[in-house]
Chains A and B, each alone.
Chain A
Amino acid sequence: MLYHGPVRVPEDARPGKAVFVCELSKKSAFTSLPTDVEVELVAGKADNE
């Protein structure tokens, strides 16, 4: 099971390393620890899958 959704990296971002800090909502019945998900921001096509 994957949780997903659209994200848009802003035009003013500099290419290079960045992180998504991921966590559950404070209202959730479950708890989470903020988790750094590292990504690389690139100009042009990301070519992921």
Chain B
Amino acid sequence: MRRAIGFMALLCFAAAATAAEKVDLAKLERQKLTALPKLNAEKPLYALAVFGPEAKTQVWLVLDKSKADAKKYDVLWADLNGDGRLDPDRERFETKSNRDVGSQIFELGDFTDPVTKDKHTDFEVSIDLERPICMLRLNWKGKADLKMGGGYAPQGDSGYMRFAESQSEAPLVWFNGDGPFRFQRWYSAKMAIGKEEDLKLFLGQEGVGKHTFCAFTGYVLPEGEPVNATLVYTDKEGKEKRISFELKERC
């Protein structure tokens, strides 16, 4: 009996992994927002969050203003039920931050994925358009140790994700804490030959658009469990070579 359960669990896991491997977010058909409320911002800004191993749930995020002449984007619309409509009663959020300076934080609260029924908690969007830094965050399936955030850039000097002026150009962030996971470097774009360097990696999911990596922000891998990194390079005689390293540190 135990073996049968184990076998079934293995099958489910393999199916989920296969589904995730098949997801091609660049080709994902983006659901259109069919019913937009009257927006105050002259240039509303858009981003799209997708959820789950197959990215079937799409939540549009639209930055707006409480009045046309507001200095900051202080209103966020979030299509939390993924129906392509923005409901003024349940899907409109005002910032609780200072509306004149610094970043704006929108607290969306707990979010139940309408497709998978998974409940994610502390869904939050923060924006600072001057830097620019726009981040989406939540606790995957309500677990604080599986907190995910995106979008991260491969290095910090060119800013992070930014919302776009159209739905077609909107950055896409993928929340999928079930894996399989991908990696993104943090700095280390250049490596000196013959010298020791520190290779740093995010663990999470790659999105679509510039600076859209969605990473785990806490400890996920057990202490001492390595990430394997194999350098594939060309030697001075033109031959391909490989050398493997284990990354065991975290910060």
Measured in the bound complex, the distance between the Cα atoms of B190 and A29 in whole Å is 32
- Determine if B186 is an interface residue (Cβ-Cβ < 8 Å): yes
CB pair A3–B227 under 8 Å, yes or no, is yes
- B242 — nearest CB in chain A belongs to which residue? A21
Whether the pair A7, B233 counts as a contact (CB closer than 8 A) is: no
In the bound complex, what is the Cα–Cα distance between A29 and B191 (angstroms)? 31
Which residues of A have CB within 8 Å of B185?
20, 37, 39
B-chain residues with CB within 8 Å of residue A18 when the two chains form the complex = 191, 231-234
Interface size class of A (residues with CB under 8 A): 35 or more
How many A-B contacts if CB must be within 8 Å? Answer: 193
Contact A13 B246 (CB under 8 A): no
Within 8 A of A (CB), among B209-251: 215-222, 225-236, 238, 241, 243, 245-251
Task: Report Cα–Cα, A43/B220, bound state, in Å.
Answer: 35
Alpha-carbon distance between A1 and B250 when the two chains are bound, in angstroms: 7
Q: Interface segment, B4-12, B106-114, B200-208?
A: B200-208
Question: Chain B: which residue is nearest A44 at the CB level?
Answer: B192
Task: Choose from B13, B181, B196, B202 the contact partner of A32 (Cβ within 8 Å).
Answer: B181
Q: A3 to chain B: which residues have CB within 8 Å?
A: 200-201, 203, 221, 227, 247, 249-250
Not counting A1-B220, A7-B197, A39-B185, a sample of 18 additional A-B residue pairs whose C-beta atoms are within 8 angstroms of each other reads A1-B202, A3-B200, A3-B203, A4-B199, A4-B200, A11-B194, A13-B233, A20-B229, A30-B180, A33-B180, A33-B181, A35-B184, A37-B183, A37-B185, A39-B189, A40-B191, A48-B189, A49-B187
